[in-house]
Amino acid sequence: MADAGFAVQAWDAAPGMVALAARHKGVAARQARFDDLDAAAVYGGIWANFSLLHAPREAFAHHITAISKALRPGGVFHIGMKTGAEADRDGLGRAYTYYSIAELEAALSQAGLVVVSRQTGQDKGFAGTVDPWVILLAEKPVA
Protein backbone atom coordinates (compact mmCIF):
# COMPACT_ATOMS: atom_id res chain seq x y z
CA MET A 1 0.00 0.00 0.00
CA ALA A 2 2.84 2.38 0.83
CA ASP A 3 4.52 1.50 -2.48
CA ALA A 4 1.29 2.58 -4.21
CA GLY A 5 1.58 6.00 -2.57
CA PHE A 6 -0.87 5.57 0.30
CA ALA A 7 -0.12 6.86 3.80
CA VAL A 8 -0.11 3.63 5.82
CA GLN A 9 -0.66 3.20 9.53
CA ALA A 10 -0.17 -0.43 10.56
CA TRP A 11 -1.59 -1.54 13.91
CA ASP A 12 -1.09 -4.83 15.69
CA ALA A 13 -1.31 -6.00 19.29
CA ALA A 14 1.80 -8.17 18.88
CA PRO A 15 5.15 -6.35 19.18
CA GLY A 16 6.78 -8.71 16.68
CA MET A 17 4.21 -7.90 14.01
CA VAL A 18 4.67 -4.17 14.65
CA ALA A 19 8.42 -4.57 14.19
CA LEU A 20 7.90 -6.42 10.90
CA ALA A 21 5.54 -3.74 9.59
CA ALA A 22 7.88 -0.94 10.63
CA ARG A 23 10.60 -2.34 8.38
CA HIS A 24 8.63 -1.27 5.31
CA LYS A 25 9.36 2.18 3.91
CA GLY A 26 6.38 4.49 4.25
CA VAL A 27 4.67 2.45 6.98
CA ALA A 28 4.03 4.01 10.38
CA ALA A 29 3.60 1.02 12.69
CA ARG A 30 2.34 1.03 16.25
CA GLN A 31 1.30 -1.45 18.86
CA ALA A 32 -2.44 -1.11 19.38
CA ARG A 33 -5.53 -3.22 19.93
CA PHE A 34 -8.93 -3.10 18.24
CA ASP A 35 -10.29 -1.09 21.18
CA ASP A 36 -7.75 1.67 20.53
CA LEU A 37 -9.53 2.84 17.36
CA ASP A 38 -11.34 6.03 18.32
CA ALA A 39 -10.87 8.21 15.24
CA ALA A 40 -13.67 10.01 13.39
CA ALA A 41 -13.67 10.42 9.59
CA VAL A 42 -9.87 10.07 9.36
CA TYR A 43 -9.20 7.10 7.06
CA GLY A 44 -9.80 6.63 3.36
CA GLY A 45 -9.52 2.88 3.85
CA ILE A 46 -9.17 0.26 6.55
CA TRP A 47 -7.79 -3.20 5.83
CA ALA A 48 -8.61 -5.85 8.44
CA ASN A 49 -7.46 -9.03 6.76
CA PHE A 50 -8.10 -12.03 9.03
CA SER A 51 -7.49 -10.00 12.19
CA LEU A 52 -10.96 -9.30 13.57
CA LEU A 53 -11.61 -13.04 13.72
CA HIS A 54 -9.55 -12.99 16.92
CA ALA A 55 -11.92 -10.51 18.62
CA PRO A 56 -14.56 -11.90 20.96
CA ARG A 57 -18.10 -12.05 19.57
CA GLU A 58 -19.44 -9.63 22.19
CA ALA A 59 -17.00 -6.93 21.00
CA PHE A 60 -17.41 -7.41 17.24
CA ALA A 61 -20.28 -4.95 16.64
CA HIS A 62 -18.41 -2.29 18.63
CA HIS A 63 -15.30 -2.79 16.48
CA ILE A 64 -17.24 -2.60 13.21
CA THR A 65 -19.01 0.57 14.39
CA ALA A 66 -15.66 2.14 15.35
CA ILE A 67 -14.26 1.25 11.92
CA SER A 68 -17.25 2.82 10.18
CA LYS A 69 -16.88 5.97 12.30
CA ALA A 70 -13.15 6.15 11.52
CA LEU A 71 -13.74 6.04 7.75
CA ARG A 72 -14.25 9.22 5.76
CA PRO A 73 -17.37 9.32 3.56
CA GLY A 74 -16.53 7.29 0.46
CA GLY A 75 -13.92 5.31 2.44
CA VAL A 76 -13.51 1.59 1.91
CA PHE A 77 -13.28 -1.28 4.38
CA HIS A 78 -11.70 -4.64 3.54
CA ILE A 79 -12.43 -7.47 5.95
CA GLY A 80 -11.26 -11.06 5.63
CA MET A 81 -12.72 -13.65 8.01
CA LYS A 82 -12.90 -17.41 8.34
CA THR A 83 -16.54 -18.44 8.16
CA GLY A 84 -18.49 -20.78 10.38
CA ALA A 85 -20.26 -20.61 13.72
CA GLU A 86 -19.32 -20.30 17.37
CA ALA A 87 -15.80 -19.74 18.69
CA ASP A 88 -12.86 -22.11 19.07
CA ARG A 89 -9.10 -22.37 19.32
CA ASP A 90 -7.05 -23.72 16.46
CA GLY A 91 -4.31 -26.33 16.75
CA LEU A 92 -1.83 -23.57 17.57
CA GLY A 93 -3.97 -22.31 20.45
CA ARG A 94 -5.15 -19.11 18.73
CA ALA A 95 -8.68 -17.94 19.57
CA TYR A 96 -11.13 -17.59 16.69
CA THR A 97 -14.68 -16.32 16.45
CA TYR A 98 -16.52 -17.51 13.36
CA TYR A 99 -19.41 -15.82 11.56
CA SER A 100 -21.64 -16.66 8.64
CA ILE A 101 -21.46 -14.39 5.61
CA ALA A 102 -24.99 -13.19 6.39
CA GLU A 103 -23.93 -12.23 9.95
CA LEU A 104 -20.93 -10.29 8.67
CA GLU A 105 -22.92 -8.46 6.01
CA ALA A 106 -25.61 -7.58 8.58
CA ALA A 107 -22.99 -6.21 11.00
CA LEU A 108 -21.48 -4.05 8.25
CA SER A 109 -24.91 -2.80 7.21
CA GLN A 110 -25.89 -1.97 10.80
CA ALA A 111 -22.70 0.09 11.08
CA GLY A 112 -23.70 2.09 8.00
CA LEU A 113 -21.43 0.35 5.48
CA VAL A 114 -22.50 -0.98 2.09
CA VAL A 115 -20.99 -4.25 0.87
CA VAL A 116 -19.81 -3.80 -2.71
CA SER A 117 -18.01 -7.10 -3.30
CA ARG A 118 -17.67 -10.56 -1.84
CA GLN A 119 -15.07 -13.26 -2.48
CA THR A 120 -15.19 -16.71 -0.90
CA GLY A 121 -12.89 -19.69 -0.83
CA GLN A 122 -11.07 -22.12 1.39
CA ASP A 123 -7.39 -22.57 2.09
CA LYS A 124 -5.01 -24.36 4.40
CA GLY A 125 -3.92 -22.10 7.24
CA PHE A 126 -0.88 -22.07 9.52
CA ALA A 127 -2.55 -24.61 11.84
CA GLY A 128 -2.79 -27.09 8.95
CA THR A 129 -6.57 -27.17 8.57
CA VAL A 130 -8.50 -26.20 5.45
CA ASP A 131 -11.00 -23.53 6.42
CA PRO A 132 -13.66 -21.59 4.49
CA TRP A 133 -13.29 -17.81 4.35
CA VAL A 134 -14.87 -14.66 2.98
CA ILE A 135 -13.43 -11.31 1.98
CA LEU A 136 -15.88 -8.42 1.91
CA LEU A 137 -15.26 -4.95 0.57
CA ALA A 138 -17.62 -2.30 1.92
CA GLU A 139 -17.92 1.45 1.45
CA LYS A 140 -19.05 4.23 3.71
CA PRO A 141 -21.65 6.17 1.73
CA VAL A 142 -21.05 9.80 0.84
CA ALA A 143 -23.70 11.87 2.64
Rg (CA), the chain: 15
User: Is 47 within a domain?
Assistant: yes
Report pTM: 0.92
User: Is 22 within a domain?
Assistant: no
53-70: average pLDDT: 96
Note down the domain range covering 115.
33-139
DSSP string, 93-131: --EEE-B-HHHHHHHHHHTT-EEEEEEEEEEE-TTS-EE
Any idea what the CATH number is for the domain that residue 134 is in?
3.40.50.150
User: Is 62 within a domain?
Assistant: yes
What's the pLDDT at 2?
A: 87
User: Is 28 within a domain?
Assistant: no
pLDDT digits (tens, 9 = 90+) for 78-92: 999 999 999 999 889
How many domains does the chain fold into? 1
pLDDT digits (tens, 9 = 90+) for 22-36: 999 999 999 999 999
User: Is 53 within a domain?
Assistant: yes
Q: Of all residues in the chain, what percent carry a pLDDT higher than 90?
A: 90
What's the pLDDT at 143?
A: 77
Query: CB under 8 Å to 106, separation ≥6 — which residues?
Result: none
User: Is 2 within a domain?
Assistant: no
User: Is 87 within a domain?
Assistant: yes
